[in-house]
Amino acid sequence: MEFWNKLEEVEQAYRDIETRMSDPLISSNQAEMQTLGKKHVEMEPLVAVFDEYKRLLREISESRQMLADESDEAMREMIREELSKLEELKPGTEHKIRVLLLPRDKDGDRNVIIEIRGGTGGEEAALFAADLFRMYTRYAEIKRWRVEILDANETGIGGYKEIVFRIEATGAYSKLKYESGVHRVQRVPATEASGRVHTSAATVAVLPEAGDVDVAIRPEDLKIDTYRSGGAGGQHVNMTDSAVRITHLPTGVVVTCQDERSQIKNRAKAMQFLRTKLYDAEIRRQQSAMAAERKGQVGSGDRSERIRTYNFPQNRMTDHRIGLTLHKLDQIIEGNLDELIEALSMADQAEKMKNFAA
């Protein structure tokens, strides 16, 4: 009865939180109320489904007792029909509970910082990196999420050797965490005169944004350099040393930011990026220690893994991790990612459910 005991523990904790929130001494403490309120909201869906499940079990038990007590065959048939309907609801309700009992991704609600780098394929890879950047920014626009560029290394024809940007939205990481890996493209490059289809690639890294309390950084561990911003020209040309490069000496991690004209703003953004990189490195270290446990999970693959192919001539996108092929690449590249993200999330959930059941 471990399953049932776990549910009763959650329900009791939920009721305890409600009691504490009604205590005048606690309700006057804003910080404490926010903490309790967040926990209350997180637990509410599971408690609601558990209440539904208990009601369903009670009705099944009552129907079975009525069936045992009833002698009239017509009434017994009606009771059997009702009992059958109730029992059909039971597996679905249990599935809802098991899904809600799965451990929540502690980083799921965080903002994200995304790094896209052109890989094999030269100029065409840089152009593909720009296409991926546009795809994610279009998705963010559809979701009404805020996007800001932290750093970019542009090529002369509109591509990116590398671009780093931040997406600010509650739950951004839970949606985009499956995008980390190697993205491969098959198409006729704009730079190809003969019309031959080429294959090139870009890498994507999606990092949960770290908070100030997640990573401790000592000032003496930093080497900070300033330099003149580069870029394609126009409004990006900056005649002052406003770009910032920060090196974390203990780890060798280097971050840069040159998007703002203000050195102070670039420094603040670079520090945030550094915290995120160090936090991500720690997460990956912990995940490596549990490699056997996480094997097969969709959202924790190696970033050197080829995860997806975009075939433009056939308007086809294939995600190799879950074997999903969609013949709507024209829509996907315009930021319509919900169907893909939902499929990846469900596959990851199914894998976790299998482990949970085991």
Q: Return the number of other C-beta atoms located less than 10 Å from residue 140's C-beta.
A: 22
In this prediction, residue 125 carries a pLDDT of 92
Round to whole Å and give the CA distance between 201 and 125: 6
Q: 69 and 178: one domain?
A: no
Q: Give the domain range for residue 57.
A: 2-101
Q: 73 and 116: one domain?
A: no
pLDDT category, 357, cuts 50, 70, 90?
A: low
Answer whether residue 106 is part of any domain.
no
Please say which residue of 56, 80, 101 terminates a domain: 101
The DSSP secondary-structure symbol of 278 reads H
CB-based contact 173:108 (threshold 8 Å): yes
Query: Two tokens at 108?
Result: 């799921």
CB-based contact 112:209 (threshold 8 Å): yes
pLDDT at residue 222 greater than cutoff 80: yes
Please say which residue of 67, 101, 135 terminates a domain: 101
In this prediction, residue 70 carries a pLDDT of 87
36-50, 113-127, 274-288: range with lowest mean pLDDT? 274-288
CB-based contact 211:277 (threshold 8 Å): no
Q: 74 and 130: one domain?
A: no
pLDDT at residue 51 greater than cutoff 50: yes
The DSSP secondary-structure symbol of 217 reads -
pLDDT at residue 299 greater than cutoff 70: no
**Residue 171 is part of a domain; what is its CATH number?**
3.30.70.1660
Q: 46 and 190: one domain?
A: no
In this prediction, residue 293 carries a pLDDT of 45
174-188, 269-283, 291-305, 323-337: range with lowest mean pLDDT? 291-305
Round to whole Å and give the CA distance between 337 and 1: 40
Please say which residue of 63, 81, 101 terminates a domain: 101
Q: 96 and 218: one domain?
A: no
- Which is more confidently placed, 80 or 284? 80
Answer whether residue 226 is part of any domain.
yes
100-114, 257-271, 285-299, 306-320: range with lowest mean pLDDT? 285-299
φ, ψ at 279 (rounded to 5°): -65, -45
For the residues 167-185, what does the mean pLDDT come to? 93
For the residues 244-252, what does the mean pLDDT come to? 92
Amino acid at 195: G
- Which is more confidently placed, 195 or 196? 196
pLDDT category, 230, cuts 50, 70, 90?
A: low
Answer whether residue 248 is part of any domain.
yes
Q: 86 and 156: one domain?
A: no
Round to whole Å and give the CA distance between 208 and 111: 6
What proportion of the chain, given as a percentage, has pLDDT over 90? 47
Number of domains in the chain: 2
Interval 78-131: pLDDT, tens: 999 999 999 999 999 988 887 777 777 778 788 999 999 998 888 899 999 999
pLDDT category, 237, cuts 50, 70, 90?
A: very low
Round to whole Å and give the CA distance between 224 and 210: 20
Q: 216 and 325: one domain?
A: yes
pLDDT at residue 345 greater than cutoff 60: yes
In this prediction, residue 336 carries a pLDDT of 96
Q: 232 and 347: one domain?
A: yes
For the residues 207-215, what does the mean pLDDT come to? 81
Q: 131 and 83: one domain?
A: no
Query: Two tokens at 348?
Result: 């990851």
Alpha helices in the chain (DSSP H): 2-21, 24-27, 30-69, 73-101, 123-143, 172-176, 263-289, 291-294, 329-332, 338-357
In this prediction, residue 300 carries a pLDDT of 44
pLDDT at residue 289 greater than cutoff 70: no
Q: 138 and 233: one domain?
A: yes
Round to whole Å and give the CA distance between 70 and 60: 15
